[in-house]
Amino acid sequence: MQSLSALLFILTSFFVFQVDTFAMAQEVFWTETTTVHDNEKAHIKPVSYTVAGSATRIETSAEMIFIDYSAMTLYRLNLRTAQCTTVNLSVSEGRSQSSIVARKVRGLMAEIRVVATSEQRNIQGLSCYKKTALLGAGLFRLKTMAPITVESLGQSFHEARGEYWVSANVDAWQAVQKMLPQRQLAFRRVPLLQRLDPLGLMQNLDGFVVQRQVKSKGGSVSSSLTEGPILRADSLRIPPECAVEESP
């Protein structure tokens, strides 16, 4: 009888361990259909996102962006040429006047200011609320400045105005919320990451983005959720083309 009780204890403990491990190692995956209007032309492309506790992957048919928060490294992989570029997010900047000014401008461009509205709509079976946001809100405060572009993290950032339909009525939203505190230190170190990582925007909007329309001086971007979000076991790994083998 004692041996049976011991066996049941071991099996129960193993099950609890497996459940706890899965709960700690989850990722959220979703896909959007994005339409980019640039110079009176419309480009439609699917964009997939995968977020986990210590990593984010953003992928189109041409490029993959992988942010490894545990190593504070960003990888940009050209999926057509298999070329990978690496950005060390922990590199300290200089203390020259130009470096200080550049850092300040990047900080202003990273600011996101959200305003809630009373508008509500059901989209794809989800109860959604409309919110508006200023991206690069710090620069909007400087009325005398003309719109600028900030080149950082391998891409261009613009001041923009966005309309977002967000929902907290998404199964994966609780998992996303648990990931947000793990991003805070990285967002403080590199503020523009919150403009690149979708969790940065969702953190400010306090909800999962179902639809959006963003307008800037360079054109407009609209997107709509087409798949997911799906909660699954964490499988995020650095792309093999970007992995560097350690010397023996």
Stretch 155-176: mean pLDDT, rounded?
Answer: 91
∠ CA 49-67-204 to the nearest 5 degrees?
65
Stretch 60-72: mean pLDDT, rounded?
Answer: 95
The single-letter code of the amino acid at 176 is V
Using one digit for the tens of pLDDT, what is the confidence trace for 91-119? 776 667 777 788 888 888 999 999 999 99
Is the model's pLDDT at 127 over the cut of 90? yes
Q: How confident is the model at residue 171 (pLDDT cuts 50, 70, 90)?
A: confident
pLDDT for the residue numbered 6: 46
Identify the weakest region by mean pLDDT among 65-69, 72-76, 105-109, 201-205: 105-109
Verdict on whether the full-model pTM lies above 0.85: no
Mean pLDDT of the chain: 84
Domain boundaries, the chain: 25-233
pLDDT for the residue numbered 24: 54
Stretch 183-205: mean pLDDT, rounded?
Answer: 94
The alpha carbons of the chain give a radius of gyration, in whole angstroms, of 21
* Secondary structure of residue 8 in the 3-state scheme: helix
Identify the weakest region by mean pLDDT among 4-13, 17-26, 112-121, 218-227: 4-13
Give the separation between CA 104 and CA 142, rounded to whole angstroms: 13
Structure tokens at 83: 């070329």
Out of 2.50.20, 3.30.310, 1.10.1760, 3.90.550, select the CATH number for domain 25-233: 2.50.20
Give the separation between CA 108 and CA 106, rounded to whole angstroms: 5
Structure tokens at 58: 């953003």
In angstroms, how far is CA 95 from the centroid of its own chain? 29
Identify the weakest region by mean pLDDT among 46-60, 198-212, 213-227: 213-227
- The phi and psi torsions of 174 (rounded to 5 degrees) equal -65, -40
